[in-house]
Amino acid sequence: MSLLYLFLNRYEWHKVFSVMRNLGNSVRKILFICAGNICRSPMAEGLLKKLLLNTPIDSMEIGSAGLIALPGNHASFNAVRVAQENSINLEEHRARLVTSDLLASADLILVMEPRHRQALASRHPEAAEKILLLRQFARYGSQERGINDPYGLSLEAYRFCFQDISECVESLHEWLLAAARN
């Protein structure tokens, strides 16, 4: 491992801890962002909503949007199918494009790929401090890599993507529960 890698890795964890410490139990609105808002971010949104059911966390708003979304598009067929396999309904999901208002109203913005974070931070520097890579909540593997886009790939690719998202969202959910207790 290079010293630069270790420095960047330490910086990223410092940023994650700093953001989470500052937010504490004040997180009330979470926004998941991917490219088209028809695969990854709707699955993450749906899973966190499902996990938050019957928890002591009140008035949490979870949403999703896409950097290049075509507003009104349905979730992809395979995203809907994989979500259904996991007791999540994406039938009513409609894609939204990221807007300044969405970013400003979110307490925590979770992106799927490092390039999404870079694009958002450069276009919306006022939101940069609350943008994190979703994989930074992962328990296993690299926290710096993105979650691959399954769009146009096989059903198995969507299942793998969902598992990747699930690991991170479950960890996020645990953090939210711990923050709510404090």
The residues that are catalytic are: 34, 40, 149
Query: Do the beta carbons of residue 112 and residue 132 sit within 8 Å?
Result: no
CB of 149 closer than 8 Å to CB of 44? no
Q: In Å, what is the CA distance from 44 to each residue of 64, 106, 134, 139? A: 8, 16, 9, 16
Would you tell me the crossing angle of helices 3-23 and 155-181 to the nearest 10 degrees? 50
Residue 153 exposed, middle or buried by CB count within 10 Å (0-12, 13-18, 19+): middle
